[in-house]
Structures are given as structure tokens and as C-alpha cells.
Amino acid sequence: MKLRNTAAAAVAAFALVLSLPASALAASGDFHYKYRDADGVEQTGTLHDPEGGTCINLDEVGSDDVEPGFAPHNQTDSWVTVFVGADCDGPDWLLRPNGRPATDRLLVRSVRFDG
């Protein structure tokens, strides 16, 4: 009898996890950052509704072989940790949800959103 109750509880818990919306695993909104392209022209990169809980190397700046991005701006509903190094390595800084743009001095190559 106990085994049947345990199995039923496990199946119910699994069904509950599957019924959670996918957005619970993602930040809603946009994350912006600036970078300079190969010609030295300032560009803006954007992540729209980024995945939560995983390290994201940012396009154009996510390698230690190129200049880092700068001035990150978190316009999502999640806290985000920005990292100076690729692969969420090196010094980091926490940015609040829907916060103000950071200064150009804050460098970024990779990010991780709370998910």
C-alpha cells in the first residue's frame, strides 16, 4: 500500500512540473548591452526573453579574444549576474530587474539570469 501511495505521489509531482509554463524558466523582457564592432562603431546587442539559470555568452563579445561589451541594461523581470569573462567567469556584478542602465565602465561578456 505504501509503495502505491509513493508511486502515485511521484506521478502527481511529475505531472505538476510538466504543467508549469515555460516562461517560468525564462526572464521576460530585454537585456541590452553596447559593444564596438570591427570598425570601432558602437552597436547595441539585445537578448529578448533570455533563458534563466544558464550561462549565456553574449553575441559579438562572448569570447575572451575580442573586446568586451559594456553598459549592460537589464529590462527583464529577473535579477541578472553579468560577468567580465566568457563562460560566466571572472569578476561579476548583480543587476536588478527593470533597473537603470549601467555605466560604460561596467564590462560584460557573459550573463546568467535567475531562473
- The DSSP bridge pattern shows strands 69-76 and 29-36 to be antiparallel
Overall average pLDDT of the 37-49 stretch: 96
Domains for the chain: give ranges and CATH numbers: 25-113 (2.60.20)
Q: Note the pLDDT of residue 25.
A: 67
At 50, give phi and psi (nearest 5°).
-65, 150
* HSE, side-chain direction, 13 A CA sphere, residue 60: 18
Angle at the Cα of 28 (from 26 to 102), degrees rounded to 5?
105
Q: Is the pLDDT of residue 6 over 60?
A: no
Overall average pLDDT of the 43-61 stretch: 97
